[in-house]
Amino acid sequence: MFIDTHSHLDFPQFDGDIEDVVARAVDSGVERIINIGTSLESSQKVVEISERFECCYAAVGVHPHDAKEVDDNCLSEIEKLGRHEKVVAVGEIGLDYYRNHSPRENQAEVFEKQLGLAQTLELPVVVHARDATSQCLAILEKHPGLTGVMHCFSSNSQNARRAFELGFYVSCCGQITYPNAENLREKFREIGHDRFMLETDAPFLAPQQHRGKRNEPAYIPLIAQTYAELFGISIVELENISTANARKLFGI
């Protein structure tokens, strides 16, 4: 059975048929879905979804895009949500120096504060690092003992090793299947599969077979097949490794 370690079923793209989306995922062999919060409102919604569907879990946090909106009350509410029995991580948190929707100093400050929350809650973190992987790792290195996953990882093997040394995992989604993504596939061949997990980032980045359409957790097996081929292992072995890593990190 597979685990989708990063999805956003709280997003409006799923408002009309979330029951069918979850059912298709289960029918496709996806036994667990971790829905990732991106704001206080989003975090509240993913917790509600986790209560509604047995197979769903939640991560709570504020995405770096919204860092400029974060205040002490927001962080206090995130901490309260983090104590829910089905919350398994703090995230999606980190730095985004590609779009810079929030000033970089705000992003770094809020990232640090949410790492502190994760340590208080004794939860792993789900890290968003776009054009800022080295900067994220430098901040994480100041928080020894904290673990988590570098979501949608596309950096180099040197940064992957830095992450592994900190006890982190890496994951990536449907773009690995794109014909023009050979550079990304080569990176993952070099990184290897020992500390690898599967994700969709639904509704974004659908695999090639559904490219341009809404992504959903049911497509995890399609993504897994590509990874199994590039790692040179069977899809069953890839499934076992990724699922065991997700279970260990998130305790599910």
Q: Are 168 and 143 in contact (CB under 8 A)?
A: no
Q: Which residues contact 103 (CB under 8 A, 6 or more apart)?
A: 67, 68
Residues contacting 211, CB < 8 A, separation 6+: 174, 178
Residues 95-135 have pLDDT tens digits of: 999 999 999 999 999 999 999 999 999 999 999 999 999 99
**Sign of dihedral through CA atoms 154, 197, 86, 143?**
negative
pLDDT in tens, 192-222: 999 999 999 999 999 999 999 999 999 999 9
Q: Note the pLDDT tens digit of each residue in 37-87.
A: 999 999 999 999 999 999 999 999 999 999 999 999 999 999 999 999 999
**Do residues 66 and 44 touch, judged by C-beta distance below 8 A?**
no
Predicted confidence at residue 70, as pLDDT, reads 98
Amino acid at 170: V
CA distance 44 to 244: 28
Which domains are seen in the chain, by residue range? Answer: 2-250 (3.20.20.140)
Task: Return the bridge partners of 120, or none.
Answer: none
| Start-to-end Cα distance in the chain | 13
DSSP state of 98: T
Q: Which amino acid is at 29?
A: G
34 contacts 5 by C-beta, under 8 angstroms = yes
Rounded to two decimals, the pTM is 0.97
Query: What pLDDT score does 120 carry?
Result: 97
* Cβ 201 vs Cβ 174: under 8 Å: yes
**What whole-number distance in Å separates Cα of residue 90 and Cα of residue 128?**
11
Q: What is the pLDDT of residue 142?
A: 96
Q: How many CA atoms lie within 13 A of 81 on its CB side?
A: 31
